[in-house]
Each structure stands twice: as C-alpha cells, then as structure tokens.
Amino acid sequence: MTAVEAVEKLKAGDVSPLELVEAAEARILDTDDAVNALPVRCFDRARAHAKSIMDNPPEEGSRSLHGLPIAIKDLTPVEGVRFTLGSPIFADQIAEQSDIMVKRLEEKGGIVVAKANTPEFGAGAQTFNEVLGTTTNPFDTRMTPGGSSGGSAAALAAGQVWLAQGSDLGGSLRIPASFTGVVGLRPSPGRCAHGPSPLPFGLGAVEGPMGRTVADVALMLDMMVGEHPVDPISLPAPAYSYLDKVKEPTAFGKVAYSPDLGQCPMDPEIAEICANAAKAFVNYTKGVEEDCFDLSEGDMIFQTLRAAQFAAAHAPKLESHRDLLKPDVIWNIEAGLALTADDIGRAQRAQGALYASVARFFETYDLLIAPTVMVPPFDHTIRSLSEVGGVKFDNYVAWLAMTYLLTNTSCPVISVPCGFTKSGLPVGLQIMAPPHREDLVLQAASAFEADHDYVKAVPVDPVVRAG
C-alpha cells in the first residue's frame, strides 16, 4: 500500500497502528541485512506509541497519519533513541529530547520505528560511516543509494516504512530519491520547522519528506508544515492541504528545461533519459523550452557558504575530536576556517544577484526542469566521484552540482523518478518552482507521475549481487 492508502485503512479501522508497526518490523528484519537502511530500531517505543494512539484515536476530521510507521534520519534526535549523527564521537549518544519536527509528526500520528543511516554529519552523498556501516541500494546492493538521506531512501525503496524524513543542503533529499526510484522534496527554507538548532538562522539546510509516490510526499508535508517559536525562520502553514492540491487538475504555462544547468558534465545515458522525460511536459504545459538562469557563480556561492556553515557547526569538534572525524569533514571545516569576511561577502552578494535573476526567470516560466544527478548510482565502495565525463573534481562534493546549484536559489525542488538505465538503475528528474510554491512542484510531479509507471517499481526486494 502507498502511505495514502495505509492512512485511509487506519482511519477506517481496517488495520491497526500496532499491526502496521509489526508489519514494518518484520519487513525491516527481513531486508535490512542486505541494505542497512535502518540500523537503529526502536520497536518497543513504537509499539507503546501505537497502543497510545489506539487508546486515544484522533478526532473525526482531523488531519493525522493515524498511526503510520515512519523513519527519521539519524541527524535528527528522537527522545530515548540512539542518536549517532553517523559519527564515532556520538556513537553511544541517546537523545534526551526530540526535535520539534519529530514531536509534530508524532503528535499527528506518525510512529517512529527506526532511525535511518546517514554519512557523518550528513557530509557527502554516499551513505556510510564508521559507526553503523554502509547503506546499499535495493535495486542492486553493490551500488550506493546516494546520500545523505540514503538510509531513508533505501528504506522506502525496500518497503520497510511508508514515509521517511530527510534533510537537504546540497541535494541530500533529491540525490538518494533519484538513485532509489522514490520521491524526495526539498522544501523552501522554513517550510518545515525544526530545532532547537545551534544555527537557527541558516537558510541552506532544510528538512523534508520522502515517499514512494508524490501523493505520499504531499501527505507527509501536510504533517510537517507550520511555524514554531523554536524555529525563527519557520513559515505559517498554508490555508490548503498539499495532498488536496495534487488531486486538482492544473494547467501550467511555459516551462524551461536545462540539460546541465549550464555548468555540469553529464553521463550520456542520464542526459538522454532526462531529455526524453522533459518532453512529456508538453502534455500539461504551454510548452517546454531549453533555458536556465545564469549559474556561473553558483559553485562559488555554494562551496563558500557551505564551508562557512560547516566551520560554524563543527569547528569545536575539530579541536576536541580531530582523530575521530573523517577526512572529508576535516577538509570542510578547515576550508570554512580559511575563509575571509570578503570571501563570504562576495558569495552573499552573488547569491542575492542570483535570486533576483531567478525571480525574473519565473516571470516567463512556471517551472524549471533538470536532471537530478550527473550520473547513475555507482559502486558503494567509492567514497565520492573524482570525475564525470572527463571533467576532474577537486573536492568530494563537486559531483553533486546538479542539486546544490539549485539549493542556492532557496526555491522548492522535487526529484521524481523518470526512467531507468539499461542496467535497471533508477534515474530522477528535478522540478523547481518559485519560492514557497511547494504546491506547484507537487502538482507538476504528480502530473508526470500519472503518465508513467515508474512508481510501480517500488517497493522492491533487495537485489543482492556479488561485488
């Protein structure tokens, strides 16, 4: 069942929260040895929550998940549950309180059954760490599911849970969604309140929903939105339901397609699959034109502001636990510490100019469409890609540029499945809309999804192949 179908069954009393918790537990135990998506489990806590919901069902007509099992990424605390952040520094840490986002999901009937694996502090888009090991791709366990929300994506693709939370700075919701054939939405900053956070005013990293269908993602987004005093940039909940919006027929104006955002080398097979997918948008728009705003300074913007944020968040750990940090994290912290005020000022000015150009762009187009990732899923033993199409990279995140260049805009972006490689690995397409218009990306993704059968590919029993 999809998450939407499961919630309807729960609401009608055709199935109980406890039955779904036990179903999720059985599936996790049956499949997770192959994929290592949900290594931190809290089944007893989940059963207690399920019984509480059964004893105190939500009021008639209230928007609720009605006891649906979900997974939370291990960068987010869940009270009483192991909270490693993928780091040896916190290998044995137990969260003393839940993030307000988790509290909101639980108050609305979500039942946390497990924590999803992530790279250390979410650094990089290949999900491995020294505490909980490597997560693999259910479509081929030799391959990576991407990251840093790789555990969440792999759990969804393997049918372990109905919904999963992720986070996204450089593409951590979108890349694993692309690599595992599921849907991941990067909302506008502030759309999904979270915290307490040591950097509450940051505009780069966001929390967001992941699911196997667009409607499932819309359902979870409905449960996550709304301002909260702990999060100073949080936005009010809209007057409408995102799930209702995806059910509405929508007519779009012109949309733009960019095969490479004007900056990125592309694997030829990915380029062909995504170009063919973009052509389908002529069926529900006034036309598709190849176009994009100028992203020539996008790499500088992202790398500078990300490094500054990394230093702000993790510099104390470099002083106290340098020997326990992976080399990529050390590099990122040191890159941030080496920045000058002029470096940061230049990046901020360039981002302001970029935002102005994006606003002008959306006066002509309703949407921007682009491939999610430069490449298909690759060997999970490779820590990061050093080159694509003959273009060599000088850092471990450069191969993520198709997603992080769009992060700079602060616009909502979704990755939706759009095809498969000749070897049977999933490929995703990004759809971006103007600021705060999550409804538009969901509607466009839903229209595309309805015309294709890629959604039927998941859940999949993990395909275990010898490396």
> Tell me, what DSSP letter sits at residue 231?
B
Residue with tokens 């097979």: 269
Catalytic residue among 64, 167, 172, 446: 172
- Is residue 73 flagged as an active site residue? yes
94 phi and psi angles, rounded to 5 deg: -115, 130
The residue type of 239 is: A
- Is residue 103 flagged as an active site residue? no
Instruction: Write out the DSSP string of 298-330.
Output: HHHHHHHHHHHHHHHHHHHHHHHHGGGS-HHHH
Residue 457: which residues within 8 A CB-CB, separation 6 or more? 181, 417, 420, 426
Cβ–Cβ < 8 Å for 388, 374:
yes
Cβ–Cβ < 8 Å for 222, 241:
yes
Cβ–Cβ < 8 Å for 132, 55:
no
Structure tokens at 374: 């430069």
Q: How many residues does the chain have?
A: 467
Catalytic residue among 64, 73, 98, 152: 73
Distance from C-alpha of 312 to C-alpha of 276, rounded to nearest angstrom: 42
Q: What angle do CA 459, 267, 361 make, to 5 degrees?
A: 90
Structure tokens at 345: 């000022």
CA neighbours within 13 Å on the CB side: how many for 394? 3
- Is residue 172 flagged as an active site residue? yes
Distance from C-alpha of 324 to C-alpha of 448, rounded to nearest angstrom: 45
Catalytic residue among 87, 98, 148, 234: 148
Strand partners, 82: 94
Residue 50: which residues within 8 A CB-CB, separation 6 or more? 16, 17, 18, 20, 21, 67, 111
Distance from C-alpha of 413 to C-alpha of 445, rounded to nearest angstrom: 10
Q: Which residues are catalytic?
A: 73, 148, 172
